[in-house]
Amino acid sequence: MASPMNPTSVSRNMSSHFSRTLGESASSHAFLASSSSVTALSVEFVAKPQAAHRVESAIPAALTGALQNVSGFAGCLVMVSEQEARLVTVITLWVGSDRVKQCRENVRWVHKLLAPYVDRCLRVQTLAAHCPGLPGLDLHMNFENDSSPVLCRSTEDETACVA
Q: So what's the pLDDT on residue 120?
A: 97
Provide the residue type at 18 as one letter. F
HSE at residue 132, side-chain half, CA atoms within 13 A, is: 1
- Whether residue 2 is contained in a domain is answered as no
Provide the residue type at 114 as one letter. L
Q: pTM of the full predicted structure? A: 0.66
Render 29-97 in DSSP notation, one character per residue.
HHHHHHH-SEEEEEEEEEEPTTTGGGHHHHHHHHHHHHHTTSTTEEEEEEEE-SS-TTEEEEEEEEEST
- Whether residue 114 is contained in a domain is answered as yes
- Whether residue 157 is contained in a domain is answered as no
Mean per-residue pLDDT over the chain, rounded: 74
Q: So what's the pLDDT on residue 4?
A: 43
- Whether residue 158 is contained in a domain is answered as no
**Residue closest to 23 by CA, chosen among 13, 15, 34:** 15
Q: For residue 31, give its domain range.
A: 7-131
Indicate whether 9 pLDDT > 90.
Answer: no
- Whether residue 30 is contained in a domain is answered as yes
**Residue closest to 40 by CA, chosen among 82, 102, 97:** 102
pLDDT (tens digit per residue) in 60-69: 999 999 999 9
- Whether residue 36 is contained in a domain is answered as yes
Confidence category of residue 139, pLDDT binned at 50, 70, 90: very low
Q: So what's the pLDDT on residue 157?
A: 45
In this structure, the number of other CB atoms found within 10 A of the CB of residue 123 comes to 12
- Tell me whether strands 137-141 and 118-129 are parallel, antiparallel or unpaired: unpaired
Q: Which CATH number is 119's domain given?
A: 3.30.70.100
Cα 39 to Cα 32: distance, rounded to the nearest angstrom: 7
- Whether residue 44 is contained in a domain is answered as yes
- Whether residue 155 is contained in a domain is answered as no
Indicate whether 34 pLDDT > 60.
Answer: no
Q: So what's the pLDDT on residue 130?
A: 81
Tally the domains of the chain: 1
